[in-house]
Structure 1
Amino acid sequence: MRSSQSFGIHFTIRTDKVREGKVPVYACVTVSRLRSYIALKQLVEVKSWDNAKGALKGNREEFKSINNYLQEVRMAIGTCYQQLNLKGKMISAEAIKDAFLGTAKEVHTLSSLFEYHNETAASTLKWSTLKHYYVTQRYLVKFIQKQFKSADLYLHELDYKFIYDFETFLRNHKPVDHQKPLNNNGVMKHIIRVKKMVHLAIQLEWISKNPFANYKLKIQKVNREHLSEKELKTMENKVFDIDRIDMIRDLFVFCCYTGLTYVDVINLKHDNIVEAADGEMWVRTCRQKTDIPVNTPLLPKAVEILKKYKDNQRALLTNTIFPVVSNQKVNAYLKEIAEVCGIKKNITFHLARHTFATTVTLSNGVPIETVSKMLAHTKIATTQIYAKVLEKKISEDMAALRKKLKEVV
């Protein structure tokens, strides 16, 4: 509820509705410069009305009676404002009008929308996805406190300016709990979540207008970093004396040859490795994020790593193929591994999945449809992000062309 709202009541007449020298009287309720008019079903003479005072001028008993009635209305409207305030309700001119007329209906706020979504989506969304909505909600709370000196907003107060100002807030926000400010696409991800919330509110008929109607998302195409063939081989062949570093390297390389994400590989069990009809070993699991099946034949390097961890004592304790280690620690160790291997790229665990898609499969002629299936993508357009023309492929294609041209000569 906003903590610094202006509130006022003024009585006025509608001169455009004059009939036989008389016009209707309205109570004008103003909250933070937004107005709502209440028809009072009182007719007064235009010439007897004092617009500055919002009352009839003169001492006629009829005029005194109407003026007394207007004061009673003023007190009643003021009482509606106070009751809404005491109950902690969001206050607006329309809410006060509804309370006065006895037509008050439930007014939804931005926080109530997020609470409804988070409660209903808990059964359908993975926590890894749902937690991002809580982060967006925290950013919204900070923005509303700073911009409006309030803890919440009515949904009907959302407009284009609100979205644009929230975007500006996110771009200028300097975090104190993590090291980097949001980049453009990070900002857009929060805006997308708010847009989904607004779409839900429209479907629920909690809001009639769409504040995103004229807003355009500004997603920037990013270069999906991956290890080159040379960098991958360097990492594979590097000898590490520290077991924990050696294990993280093996975990990462295994995913470079399978395309699995961190959460899926860390939960991988021996039952997920099967011998298929073709006599080869396959990994069969489901992506935790989407529940979509993953069926990928294991390449020799992946099989070699599996054999290495067949009797790992730490893994046996959790009944998993690899010892369990947090994603945060994995990424920290990967920075050390990259430095030792002389790899200048910013390596995170997800880069292994990119390497599988680009260096291991697509650049070696595996059809994009097959790669998409192994990555468990729902749309082939998602896989096309990785379908870059690499220098290796350009070299091979031009070599084939040179050979062909020589044969013609």
Structure 2
Amino acid sequence: MRKATIQIELRKDYVTREGKQMVCLRYTAHRRSTLISLNISVFPKHWNNISKTVRGGIHRCDFYNKTIKEIYNKADNLVMENYFKPLPFPEFMNKLMDRNHGNTDFYTFIEDEIELLKASRASGTIANYYKLINTMKKWRPILSFEDITLDYIQRFHKHELESGNILSTVYKKHSNFKFLVGLAVDKEKLSKNPYEKFEIKKNIKAQNNDVLTEEELKKLQIAYDENKYEEGKHEVLREFLFSCYTSLSFAEFSVLTYDDLKPLQLKDGQTYAMLYNERTKTSVAYKIPIVSPTVVKLLGDGESFQKIFQPLTNQPTNRYLKEIMTDLKIKKTITFHRARHTFRTITAKRGIRDGIAERIMGHAEGNDIKDIYTHLHDEDIIMEMADKWVV
């Protein structure tokens, strides 16, 4: 018996009023040929009949080509699985529409796997997995299992460094991706994990060029006070300075509102504001005292429901920071996360107790400082910061 065949083509017997034609998958088996619409319509001039793809330059062409490739690969697998006994069209169609049957797209597979992991993994870990996948989709919208090779991993490594990420951050992404690829190996979607030939360096020693000194912070503060930069760059500098002074992480900026600022009156009658919220990554509560007029000024004011900050995405934020450091002749490799490192380094130099610094930073409970947390009062945190580090 002759095997079934498939082909991607434009439907020629129907044209829309605009003059567009539908992209279809033709399935031929048992001497019958059927066209299956892919719900994509294009003008003939935008169709490459040799590569069977939508030509670049038109709106959503990447999405269209990703869809075409996914469906073709899945259909091809169905044909090969049933090489000696081709499927009748209804059965072929059912399997083709089954999201999980014969799926060759890594993204589709791994998103289902991540959903299953929610029962056993922390919410912060799950969020990191999704963040990684979304990052990879922007770089490579299409990723089949066969594309996951050592060469792909090396190219991803290079791309992340060129995007402005520091080495330790890139290796953390590798660690997460290695785990996700391992799930594909366990489910026999891949024969082996290419990370067997790629070393993930777990300990990247912090260097002096990844934190700022207090003198360098003053340079940044002066630039901000003098409105040296405009619009987005000015806002990035505001957020970065606030993080250096308070340790607030990039992930927390987008959710912070003025309602998270709570007044706290001390025994001597003085009143300070405290920022209360939970870290997105760990769900551990942080308490940040606002004890300096400089920090108060960075906060601004607004209604309780309003967001305090409107951060850009990570990549343009780090690009602006790089430009600011170059402009102010600060010769250090600085990304937004270095603000937390800067805060921790300065608090240590100022003699602020570890327990208080860690409480402000909202580090995960369950470590050596857990017992210290239970004996710390809000007034202790405020007084120590006001006494030892006021900007």
Scaled by the length of structure 2, the TM-score of the pair is 0.52
How do residues 55-134 of structure 1 correspond to structure 2 at under 5 angstroms? Answer: 87-89=75-77, 109=104, 111=106, 112-117=108-113, 124=123, 130-134=130-134
**One-letter amino acid matched to 1:304:** V
Give the letter aligned to residue 287 of structure 1. R
Distance 1:303 1:134, change over 3 A: closer
Would the aligned equivalents of 2:257 and 2:305 in 1 still touch at CA under 8 Å?
no
SS at match of 1:257: helix
Matching residue of 2:218: 233
Q: Which residue of 2 aligns with 1:193?
A: 176
How far has the Cα of 1:241 moved from its partner? 4.0
Match of 2:200 in 1: 218
Instruction: Tell me: CA distance 1:190–1:138, structure 2 relative to 1, closer, same or farther (3 Å).
Output: farther
Q: Does 1:352 align with 2:354?
A: no
Query: What amino acid sits opposite 1:309 in the alignment?
Result: G
Amino acid at match of 2:277: T
Asked whether the equivalents of residues 257 and 299 of structure 1 are also in contact (C-alpha less than 8 Å), the reply is no
Alpha-carbon deviation of 1:270? 1.8
Contact 2:258-2:304 within 8 A present in 1 as well: no
Q: Counterparts of 2:319 and 2:138 in 1: how far apart (Å)?
A: 27
Which letter maps to 1:256? C
Residue 120 of structure 1 and its aligned partner are, at CA, apart by 5.2
> Displacement, 1:136?
3.7
How far did residue 231 of structure 1 move? 0.9
Secondary structure at the residue paired with 2:287? strand
TM-score normalised according to structure 1 size: 0.50
Matches within 5 A, 1:306-345: 309-310=300-301, 319-322=306-309, 324-327=310-313, 330-331=317-318, 333-335=320-322, 337-339=324-326, 341-345=328-332
> Aligned equivalents of 1:179 and 1:214: distance in 2?
24
- Say yes or no: does 1:298 pair with 2:290: yes
Taking CA–CA contacts closer than 8 Å with sequence separation of 6 or more, which of the two structures ends up with the larger relative contact order? 2
Q: CA 1:370 to 1:202, structure 2 compared with 1: closer, same or farther past 3 Å?
A: farther
Is contact 1:129–1:289 with CA below 8 Å preserved after alignment?
A: no
1:221 Cα deviation (Å)?
0.8
Structure with bigger gyration radius: 1
Which position in structure 2 is the counterpart of 1:273? 261
Instruction: Give the 5 Å matches for 1:235-274.
Output: 235-238=220-223, 239-241=225-227, 244=231, 248-274=236-262
The 3 A distance-change label for structure 1 pair 135 and 266 is: closer
AA in 1 matched with 2:220: M
**Counterparts of 2:275 and 2:132, CA distance in 1:** 29
User: Equivalent residue for 1:14?
Assistant: none
- RMSD over aligned CA atoms reads 5.0
Deviations 1:6-35 (A, max 9, x none): xxxxxxxxxxxxxxxxxxxxxxxxxxxxxx
Residues 182, 193 of structure 2: 8 Å contact kept:
no
Deviations 1:11-68 (A, max 9, x none): xxxxxxxxxxxxxxxxxxxxxxxxxxxxxxxxxxxxxxxxxxxxxxxxxxxxxxxxxx
Gaps of 5+ in 2: 1-71, 87-99, 370-391
Aligned equivalents of 1:96 and 1:288: distance in 2?
50
SS for the counterpart of 1:89 is helix
Q: Which residue of 1 aligns with 2:44?
A: none
Consecutive unaligned residues in structure 1, runs of 5 or more: 1-83, 100-104, 145-150, 384-409
> Closer, same or farther in 2 for the Cα pair 1:212/1:377, shift >3 Å?
farther
